[in-house]
Chains A and B, each alone.
Chain A
Amino acid sequence: LAKTTQPISMDSYEGQEVNITCSHNNIATNDYITWYQQFPSQGPRFIIQGYKTKVTNEVASLFIPADRKSSTLSLPRVSLSDTAVYYCLVGALLNTPLVFGKGTRLSVIA
């Protein structure tokens, strides 16, 4: 499984765009990049998933450069309710269960 590295924590003010970058230098050809969000006292929730270039949904965007050795989760105009831990996972999903690291703790400040 590709090892991922992401910042331990980030702070942001309400209304700003937040970008969380994840490094995965040994990503394999079959690997996908998946991000989950976890609020306190809840289980993680799927946010977005991609293989290359850019993916966008109603919650976030995921940017993946051509070499796929990193990815960036972009949250537009964050609010206090976006305060959570964000996990980056990399793997060929059906081969071996994905590994959750410590994630990035995002704190949104009013």
Chain B
Amino acid sequence: NAGVTQTPKFRILKIGQSMTLQCTQDMNHNYMYWYRQDPGMGLKLIYYSVGAGITDKGEVPNGYNVSRSTTEDFPLRLELAAPSQTSVYFCASSYGTGDTDTQYFGPGTRLTVL
């Protein structure tokens, strides 16, 4: 299993540009998440999904959009990039069943908006 994969690893955007961060998991997990992590800070949840076709907002959804058309993929769309979106973005997934759950994280995408 590759686990959770993210592309690209690095990206530089100009203000106002848009892009899609890709996330794929091969563990047949129901739940998927997008986080951002600013330097020296903890992770903040952007969006999450409990299954294909179902998404919900996290703590900081403004400026982002997601879709979940398949179990495996959970892309994150940035429209009209702003310098405040400079961050490291992590995708995660989990089974989402039972009383306990463990999130598995991807390697991250480092995004700079200039």
Contacts and interface: CB of A to CB of B under 8 A. Distances in A.
Interface size classification for chain B: 20 to 34
Contacts of A49: 100, 102
User: Which of B43, B59, B96 has most A Cβ within 10 Å?
Assistant: B43
Contacts, number: 52
14 contacts: A34-B102, A43-B90, A43-B92, A43-B105, A46-B102, A46-B103, A46-B104, A49-B102, A94-B97, A97-B48, A97-B58, A100-B35, A100-B42, A103-B42
State the majority secondary structure of interface residues on A.
loop
A44 B100 contact: no
Interface of B: 4, 33, 35, 40-45, 48, 58-59, 90, 92, 96-108
A103 B101 CA distance: 19
A54 interface: no
Contact of B43 (A41, A44, A93, A94): A44
A35 B48 CA distance: 20
